[in-house]
């Protein structure tokens, strides 16, 4: 990002648009695989109790936040333009949500191993 900020405005916008185009398809495939694998583990696994289902729902809300932020980045007509610092806040919120998802996943794995 600091390298892009040192470029002239038109070249920076062109580079950002090129990166969006290049990684958009990969991003959508990975997002579909991540959500699909989570739903498969939930539906194909053993019968889960109420606690597991509640925490799974909370985890899916965080995953929905990550998905929406990623889709907004991939489909934004403005590229990487910072609007009042929202790009840093968006990245921070996605990182925090990702860490929370990992911890909830570990908790769900432990619940699943205990048969709850």
Cβ atoms of 97 and 66 within 8 Å: the answer is: yes
Average pLDDT over residues 56-69: 90
pTM of the model: 0.71
Q: From CA 61, how far away is CA 25, in angstroms rounded?
A: 23
pLDDT at 9: 72
Confidence class of residue 77 from pLDDT cuts 50, 70 and 90?
low
Q: From CA 67, how far away is CA 51, in angstroms rounded?
A: 24
Number of domains in the chain: 1
Confidence class of residue 100 from pLDDT cuts 50, 70 and 90?
very high
Residue 84 has pLDDT above 60, yes or no: no
What is the domain extent for residue 106?
A: 2-113
**Buried (b) or exposed (e) across 58-72, using 16+ Cβ within 10 A?**
ebbebbebbbeebee
Provide the 10 A C-beta neighbour count for residue 16.
18
Q: From CA 54, how far away is CA 42, in angstroms rounded?
A: 12
Average pLDDT over residues 15-34: 82
């Amino acid at each position: 990002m600091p390298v892009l900020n040192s470029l002239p405005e038109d070249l920076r916008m062109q580079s950002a648009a090129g990166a969006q185009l290049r990684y958009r398809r990969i991003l959508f495939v990975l997002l579909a695989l991540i959500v699909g694998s989570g739903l498969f583990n939930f539906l194909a696994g053993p019968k889960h109790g109420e606690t597991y289902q509640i925490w799974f729902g909370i985890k899916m809300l965080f995953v929905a936040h990550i998905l929406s932020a990623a889709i907004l980045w991939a489909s934004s007509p403005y590229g990487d333009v910072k609007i009042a610092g929202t790009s840093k806040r968006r990245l921070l919120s996605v990182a925090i949500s990702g860490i929370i998802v990992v911890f909830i996943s570990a908790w769900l794995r432990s619940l699943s191993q205990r048969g709850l």
